[in-house]
Amino acid sequence: MASGFFALLDDVAALMDDVAVLSKVTTKKTAGILGDDLAVNAEKASGFTASRELPVLWAITKGSFLNKLIILPIAFLLSAFLPKVITIILVLGGIYLAYEGAEKVYAYLWPHTKKHQKQTKKTQHISNTEVVEQEQAKIKSAIVTDFILSVEIVIIALGTVLNEVLLVQIMVVSVVAIIATVGVYGVVAVIVRMDDFGLKLVKTSAGRGFRFKIGGALVTALPYVIKALSVIGTLALLLVSGGIFVHNIPELHAVMVAWPALVKEFVVGLIVGLVAVMLWNVSAWLIEKIGN
Per-residue pLDDT at 25 exceeds 50: yes
Spatial CA neighbour of 180 closest among 153, 161, 155? 153
**Residue-level pLDDT at 283:** 92
**Residue-level pLDDT at 271:** 94
Per-residue pLDDT at 10 exceeds 50: no
Spatial CA neighbour of 241 closest among 263, 260, 261, 268? 268
Q: How many structural domains are present in the chain?
A: 1
**Residue-level pLDDT at 180:** 81
Position with higher pLDDT, 131 vs 290: 290
Position with higher pLDDT, 82 vs 24: 82
d(CA 200, CA 284): 47
Question: Region 234-238: what's the mean pLDDT?
Answer: 82
Position with higher pLDDT, 249 vs 268: 268
198: left (phi over 0), alpha (psi -120 to 50) or beta: alpha
**Residue-level pLDDT at 275:** 95
**Residue-level pLDDT at 238:** 86
**Residue-level pLDDT at 21:** 63
Measure Cα distances from 255 to 99, 243, 246, 258 in Å. 21, 13, 9, 9
Spatial CA neighbour of 150 closest among 225, 77, 74? 74
Contacts of residues 245-253 at CB distance under 8 Å and 24 or more positions apart, as own/partner, are 245/91, 245/94, 245/98, 245/269, 245/272, 248/87, 248/90, 248/91, 248/94, 249/91
Q: In the structure, what pLDDT confidence band is assigned to residue 138 with cuts at 50, 70 and 90?
A: confident
User: For the chain, what is the mean pLDDT?
Assistant: 78
Spatial CA neighbour of 148 closest among 26, 81, 241, 274? 241
**Residue-level pLDDT at 278:** 94
Spatial CA neighbour of 271 closest among 246, 242, 292, 291? 242
Task: Give the model confidence (pLDDT) of 79-137 as tens digits.
Answer: 888 888 888 888 888 898 889 889 989 888 887 644 444 444 444 556 667 777 777 88
d(CA 64, CA 58): 10
Per-residue pLDDT at 279 exceeds 90: yes
pTM flag (> 0.85) = no
Residue range(s) defining the domain that contains residue 154: 2-291
d(CA 181, CA 151): 13
Q: In the structure, what pLDDT confidence band is assigned to residue 49 with cuts at 50, 70 and 90?
A: low
